[in-house]
């Protein structure tokens, strides 16, 4: 073997799973256990060369064979998982941290009577990763069946959806079968009823359309609602379905509330303060109490309200050229963007609630943030503008508020747009259904606010609002 080696890309997912399987919550825990540098452990997980001796030591601690890890995976040696079966993850990886309380709450529910779990939240908050992580807790259902609706080549009608799943379940679906929708639904429900499988459905919002008159999101293809109704009303149903969505389909919510033993929803929010530091540590950054950059990492986590995607992008930038892990240097370059947010939050706490001229760029102050964070959020805004005009206007107009304010403050902005009271209420409902507004009780009063990342985007859209309408 050469003097230094690295984990082959084919095996990076496997080593990430092995970390948690062997009882190490973070890479720092593993480094402390082996009494080696955290940077060495981080390089191992990132596929960067480390010395042969350290490579073998880390591999042994993870219960993995070092020689296998440096070679490309062959078809006869599929990646191992906790259940000993092939599994591909798209979002859950070595950067995963926290969510232990959520897993402890949802895992037993899905193993029990809950047939349909919907994980909701804003873009980039980690819904898909949580669904994939939960699949490890549900290994008894086998490798999950996937059907992501955000794939560019994915057809979104129920017939195509059912045909894809039936084929994955080993059934033959002819061209004639694809046009017989009732029969396709019956076959799919029957297959899932009697054969315990886990079905992960990503980006359910792609199946929905806005309704400006009624203020809710409903299925473009009504057959999906009929399918979920069959799932919830069946006398027996051995499979489990986990949905992720940026929007709450009110038709499905109304249906689910009638079958609460078989249905649950979970709104996923940002990482806690301790989880934020764990994320930075897991990417190889120094978060020790006396580390020079720790306070800056804490401030970045607070500004982003623990948004996992944004914080992972920032952690990746800090760990890469030209910063190479130097948190202080990164702060010296971009810290003013965070300070701008801190100044506004302090001003809001002092009573200055309005800031139409605030220049927040949390979503776009680097190229990587623009590519990975802004782009995801922009899709949400464009869909809102297309499906619910007054909801989009309300979100942009209310971005002038720096903090939580009474509901009527928000709605007053629609007067300029000749929007009546009923339509304004429906517009606000549309924002609630899409988790673009956060509700809170302040001094005994019901108030509304925007997540810092959402406000960063809506402030930018506000500047162009008159050009659009």
Tell me what pLDDT residue 84 has.
Answer: 43
Tell me what pLDDT residue 23 has.
Answer: 75
Give the range with max mean pLDDT: 18-32, 147-161, 270-284: 270-284
State the pLDDT confidence band at 81, using cuts at 50, 70 and 90.
very low
- Percentage of the chain exceeding pLDDT 90: 71
Residue 410, pLDDT above cutoff 90: yes
Tell me what pLDDT residue 211 has.
Answer: 67
Instruction: Identify which of 241, 279, 304 has the alpha carbon closest to the alpha carbon of residue 99.
Output: 279
**Lowest pLDDT segment from 4-13, 112-121, 452-461:** 4-13
Residue 215, pLDDT above cutoff 80: no
Residue 19, pLDDT above cutoff 70: yes
Tell me what pLDDT residue 216 has.
Answer: 67
For residues 331 and 296, give the distance between their C-alpha atoms in angstroms, rounded to a whole number: 7
Residue 350, pLDDT above cutoff 60: yes
Q: At what angle do helices 38-45 and 52-61 cross, to 10 degrees?
A: 80
Name 309's Cβ contacts closer than 8 Å, sequence gap at least 6: 123, 124, 125, 126, 372, 373, 376
Please, what's the b/e burial string for 123-155 (b: 16 or more CB within 10 A of its CB; e: otherwise)?
bbbbbbbbbbbbbbebbebbebbbbebeeeeee
Residue with tokens 């992720």, as numbered in its chain: 244
Tell me what pLDDT residue 85 has.
Answer: 43
Tell me what pLDDT residue 99 has.
Answer: 95
For residues 266-276, average pLDDT? 97
For residues 135 and 144, give the distance between their C-alpha atoms in angstroms, rounded to a whole number: 7
For residues 293-297, average pLDDT? 98
- The pLDDT tens digits of the residues spanning 353-386 come to 999 999 999 999 999 999 999 999 999 999 999 9
Q: Does domain 367-468 have CATH number 2.160.10.10?
A: no
Give the range with max mean pLDDT: 123-132, 216-225, 248-257: 123-132
Q: What is the mean pLDDT of the chain?
A: 91
For residues 207-214, average pLDDT? 76
- Percentage of the chain exceeding pLDDT 70: 94
Residue 339, pLDDT above cutoff 60: yes
Q: Is 302 left (phi over 0), alpha (psi -120 to 50) or beta?
A: alpha
Model-wide pTM > 0.85: no
Domain boundaries of the chain, sorted by first residue:
4-69, 100-267, 273-349, 367-468
Residue 275, pLDDT above cutoff 60: yes
More confident residue, 469 or 167: 167
State the pLDDT confidence band at 73, using cuts at 50, 70 and 90.
low
- The pLDDT tens digits of the residues spanning 31-55 come to 888 988 888 888 898 888 888 889 9
For residues 226 and 162, give the distance between their C-alpha atoms in angstroms, rounded to a whole number: 13
- The pLDDT tens digits of the residues spanning 303-331 come to 999 999 999 999 999 998 899 999 999 99
Residue 80, pLDDT above cutoff 60: no
Angle value at C-alpha 282, between 281 and 284, nearest 5 degrees: 65
Please, what's the b/e burial string for 237-256 (b: 16 or more CB within 10 A of its CB; e: otherwise)?
bebbbbbbbbbbbbbbeebb
Residue 83, pLDDT above cutoff 50: no
Backbone angles phi, psi at 364, to 5 degrees: -155, 20
- The pLDDT tens digits of the residues spanning 99-111 come to 999 999 999 999 9
Pick the CATH number of 100-267 from 3.40.50.720, 3.30.420.10, 3.40.50.2020, 3.40.50.300: 3.40.50.300
More confident residue, 91 or 345: 345
For residues 425 and 431, give the distance between their C-alpha atoms in angstroms, rounded to a whole number: 10
Tell me what pLDDT residue 37 has.
Answer: 84
- The pLDDT tens digits of the residues spanning 158-206 come to 999 999 999 999 999 999 999 999 999 999 999 999 999 999 999 999 9
Give the range with max mean pLDDT: 13-17, 64-68, 126-130: 126-130
For residues 439-444, average pLDDT? 92
Kindly report the length of the chain: 469
Enter the CATH code of domain 4-69: 1.10.260.40
Tell me what pLDDT residue 403 has.
Answer: 97
The token pair that represents 388 in the structure block: 């619910």
For residues 426-443, average pLDDT? 94
- The pLDDT tens digits of the residues spanning 392-403 come to 999 999 999 999
More confident residue, 389 or 18: 389
């Amino acid at each position: 073997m050469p003097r230094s080696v690295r984990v082959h890309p084919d095996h990076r997912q496997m080593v990430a799973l092995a970390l948690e399987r062997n009882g190490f919550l973070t890479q720092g825990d593993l480094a402390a256990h082996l009494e080696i540098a955290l940077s060495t452990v981080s390089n191992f997980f990132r596929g960067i060369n480390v010395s042969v001796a350290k490579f073998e030591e880390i591999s042994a601690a993870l219960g993995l064979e070092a020689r296998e890890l440096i070679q490309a995976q062959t078809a006869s040696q599929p990646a191992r998982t906790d259940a000993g079966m092939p599994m591909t993850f798209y979002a859950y990886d070595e950067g995963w941290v926290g969510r232990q309380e959520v897993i402890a709450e949802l895992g037993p529910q899905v193993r029990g009577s809950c047939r349909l779990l919907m994980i909701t939240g804003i873009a980039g908050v980690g819904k898909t990763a949580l669904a994939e992580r939960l699949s490890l807790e549900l290994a008894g259902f086998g490798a999950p069946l996937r059907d992501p609706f955000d794939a560019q080549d994915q057809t979104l009608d129920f017939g195509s959806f059912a045909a894809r799943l039936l084929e994955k379940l080993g059934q033959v679906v002819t061209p004639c079968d694809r046009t017989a929708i009732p029969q396709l639904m019956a076959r799919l429900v029957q297959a899932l009823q009697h054969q315990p499988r886990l079905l992960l459905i990503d980006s359910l919002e792609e199946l929905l359309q806005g309704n400006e008159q009624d203020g809710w999101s409903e299925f473009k293809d009504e057959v999906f609602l009929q399918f979920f109704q069959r799932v919830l009303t069946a006398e027996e149903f051995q499979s489990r379905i986990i949905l992720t969505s940026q929007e709450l389909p009110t038709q499905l919510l109304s249906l689910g509330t009638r079958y609460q033993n078989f249905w649950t929803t979970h709104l996923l929010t940002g990482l806690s303060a301790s989880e934020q530091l764990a994320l930075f540590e897991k990417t190889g950054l120094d978060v020790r109490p006396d580390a020079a950059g720790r306070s800056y990492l804490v401030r970045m986590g607070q500004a982003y309200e623990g948004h996992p995607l944004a914080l992972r992008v920032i952690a990746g930038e800090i760990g890469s050229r030209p910063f190479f892990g130097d948190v202080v240097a990164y702060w010296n370059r971009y810290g003013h963007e965070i300070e701008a947010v801190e100044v506004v939050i302090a001003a809001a706490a002092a009573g200055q609630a309005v800031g139409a001229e605030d220049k927040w760029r949390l979503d776009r102050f680097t190229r990587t943030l623009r590519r990975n964070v802004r782009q995801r959020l922009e899709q949400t805004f464009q869909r809102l503008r297309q499906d619910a005009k007054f909801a989009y206007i309300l979100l942009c107009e209310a971005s002038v508020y720096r903090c939580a304010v009474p509901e009527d403050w928000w709605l007053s902005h629609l007067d300029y747009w000749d929007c009546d009271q009923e339509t304004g209420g429906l517009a606000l409902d549309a924002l609630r259904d899409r988790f673009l507004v956060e509700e809170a009780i302040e001094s005994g009063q019901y108030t509304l606010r925007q997540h810092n990342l959402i406000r960063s985007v809506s402030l930018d859209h506000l500047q162009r609002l008159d050009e659009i309408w």
